[in-house]
Amino acid sequence: MSTDMHNLTLAQISKGLEAGDFTSVEITQHFLDRIDTLDQNDGGINSFITVTKDQALADAKAADERRAAGNATAWTGVPFAHKDIFCTDGTLTTCGSKMLSNFVPPYDATVVDNFKQQGAVCLGKTNMDEFAMGSSNESSFFGGVKNPWNKETIPGGSSGGSAAAVAARLVPAATGTDTGGSIRQPAALCGLTGLKPTYGRCSRFGMIAFASSLDQAGPMTQTAEDAAMMLNIMSSFDEKDSTSIDQAVPDYTDTLNNDIAGKVIGLPKEFFPDSLDSEMAATVKAAISEFEKLGCTVKEISLPSTDLAIPAYYVVAPAECSANLSRMDGVRFGHRCDDPKDIEDLYKRSRGEGFGDEVKRRIMIGTYALSTGFYDAYYVKAQQIRRLIKNDFVKAFEGVDIIMGPVTPTPAFKAGEHSGDPVEMYMEDKFTLSCNLAGLPGMSIPAGQINGLPVGLQMIGNYWDEANMLNMAHQFQQVTDHHKQTPANI
């Protein structure tokens, strides 16, 4: 048995299990040992909130028995991890918050159940910004996550635990969620492939809500091929989710090797402002030039409402979070204060103690925007701007097959650098937010490095066009090795 199994991709692990090169128990134990050594200790990465060691080994043993009986799928016995926003029956699900620090759901999220049905082995639940609110994974009640490329820097958020765990090869892949860039941004900062599907492609049932019209689950992996494998499992129509769309799910691995010559790439001038760091612009454009070598053509386009995305998002998302988190009151769900003197004291102290600063900030903004006298001025106006942003994309896709640009303004910044300035932190998502507001699929793939830190290339596809994005990303990864780079000392 190889001692570097952690460097195998999902596809390679699946094939290795099928060939009998190793068992699920062996590779599961290998990853659990790495988590023990690199994550769950002082100075560790802190990418996991809960490690389900006993359950994982039991599931791995069952998977090996299933494979021996000839009942295996491509996923049987393959290890991975879930972001701690997905409800898991009998396993702690915290959303990175004190409010849910003792919450054990009695049911599985649909995405969780989809993996269980395939015989996959979940190693645990990954750390995240509290209730998915953040861009740096510093707002977690369980402590910040460190970026394996440089532990002084942040891994991105809110799916920073998933990103750091995959980057450090503690798991071959993990689930994430993306409300305003929370898969793509940490994937970019940790050198991964991360994909946010079209809104409605993956069920939101059992995925604890932040902003219901924006949240979407997606894969975080080493390669586009692995992302296609994960999306095959994560995508499904679900009658339990009113936002789930009954749209046929293709096998995303079938079209990975299609020729991409002739594809037209749109570069929005708004994604390359004069203020963009020159090294970031050069790195992203160098990656795009690789697509030109593969036969693609590039044209400049305009998405004129792009600058309105941040103000629109930070009205819509807080408003929806204010409504969604109202149930966390110490009565129906969540942390309950000690010895409340009356019902008002119970509500105030339970929510005051249970929520962190960033969550409180967004609840207050959202409640204000929804209040009498301000609803039309703020929330309705933000939704109108949202439509303008969507219209920009609809017009752009009349002439291009895919849109590309940077994911983040800079590589990973140092922990604490923006924590005193919420607006500066919000600006980290300025290239990703419009994709969520429009409900489009978006993706980040490794595109190079600046000063030893990864840089991501963002790809935005048309509605239900995940297969095209994955095909283009896979072809790019056949001629580059950015996705093969790993942090030192892991």
Q: How far apart are CA 335 and CA 348, in angstroms?
A: 11
In this prediction, residue 232 carries a pLDDT of 98
Cβ–Cβ under 8 Å, residues 405 and 164:
no
Contacts of 284 (CB under 8 A, 6+ apart): 404, 405, 406, 447, 455, 457
Half-sphere exposure of 181 (CA within 13 A, CB side): 31
Asked whether residue 292 is assigned to any structural domain, the reply reads no
Asked whether residue 285 is assigned to any structural domain, the reply reads no
Q: In sequence order, which ranges of 301-380 are alpha helices (DSSP H)? A: 309-324, 343-354, 357-370
In this prediction, residue 490 carries a pLDDT of 82
Q: How far apart are the first and last CA of the chain?
A: 19
Whether 92 shows a pLDDT value over 90: the answer reads yes
Contacts of 204 (CB under 8 A, 6+ apart): 212, 215, 216, 217, 241, 243, 244
Q: Work out the average pLDDT over 72-78.
A: 97
Buried/exposed code over 333-348 (b: 16+ C-beta within 10 A; e: otherwise): ebbbbeeeeeeeebee
For residue 262, how many other CB atoms are within 10 A of its CB?
9
Cβ–Cβ under 8 Å, residues 301 and 396:
yes
Whether 56 shows a pLDDT value over 70: the answer reads yes
Cβ–Cβ under 8 Å, residues 9 and 225:
yes
Q: What pLDDT band is residue 238 in, cutting at 50, 70 and 90?
A: very high
Catalytic residue among 158, 159, 235, 322: 158
Tell me the two tokens of residue 42: 């002082």
Asked whether residue 200 is assigned to any structural domain, the reply reads yes
DSSP 3-state of 383? helix
Asked whether residue 370 is assigned to any structural domain, the reply reads no
Asked whether residue 335 is assigned to any structural domain, the reply reads no
Task: Say whether 182 is catalytic.
Answer: yes
Whether 426 shows a pLDDT value over 90: the answer reads no
Asked whether residue 283 is assigned to any structural domain, the reply reads no
**Nearest to residue 385, comparing CAs of 315, 312, 466?**
312
Q: Can you tell me which residue has the tokens 């994550």?
A: 39
Task: Say whether 236 is catalytic.
Answer: no
Asked whether residue 163 is assigned to any structural domain, the reply reads yes
Looking at residue 213, the DSSP 8-state letter turns out to be T
Output the CA–CA distances (angstroms, integers) from residue 366 to 21, 128, 357, 370, 458, in the order listed: 53, 21, 14, 6, 29
Domain that holds residue 480: 5-262+443-484
Asked whether residue 15 is assigned to any structural domain, the reply reads yes
pTM for the model stands at 0.96
Task: Say whether 302 is catalytic.
Answer: no
**Nearest to residue 134, comparing CAs of 172, 114, 167, 161?**
161
In this prediction, residue 372 carries a pLDDT of 84
Instruction: Please state the domain count of the chain.
Output: 1
Tell me the two tokens of residue 293: 């070598």
Could you give phi then psi for residue 478, rounded to 5 degrees? -75, -20
Catalytic residue among 47, 182, 305, 434: 182
Whether 1 shows a pLDDT value over 60: the answer reads no
Mean pLDDT across the chain: 96
Cβ–Cβ under 8 Å, residues 257 and 479:
no
Cβ–Cβ under 8 Å, residues 196 and 76:
no
Catalytic residue among 83, 146, 196, 430: 83
Give the tens place of pLDDT for each residue, 248-284: 999 999 999 999 999 999 999 999 999 999 999 999 9
Cβ–Cβ under 8 Å, residues 145 and 153:
no
Q: State the CATH number of the domain containing residue 93.
A: 3.90.1300.10
In this prediction, residue 217 carries a pLDDT of 98
